[in-house]
Amino acid sequence: MTGPLPADPAAARDDLTPRVFRALYDAFDLHTVGGTHIAVPKGTPCFAAASLSEIARQISTREHPGPAVPPDPPGLLDRRPAR
């Protein structure tokens, strides 16, 4: 171990389990919410909120982001001279 022993051995065991999982299943992200563990493939969005309507809003915002800002049109100095 690299640090002092915890006062409560159960706390060390509770911390060890997710660390072992992450080491064994590197292709998954592990989220813990209220004592429930959720494993999703890395890069997969994971939405969490107190209500389903909040989750729906998060998903909707992700699926339908605001309009993209168009790039500035090239100016006269941005163009290469003709040969």
pLDDT confidence band for 80 (50 / 70 / 90): low
The pTM assigned to this predicted structure is 0.50
Contact 38, 46 (CB under 8 A): yes
Q: What is the DSSP string of 11-30?
A: HHHHHHHHHHHHHH-TTEEE
| Region at 2 (left for phi over 0; alpha for psi -120 to 50; beta for the rest) | alpha
Residues 6+ apart with CB under 8 A from 43: 29
- Closest to 49 measured CA to CA, from 41, 40, 58: 58
Q: For the chain, what is the mean pLDDT?
A: 78
Which has more confidence, 57 or 83?
A: 57
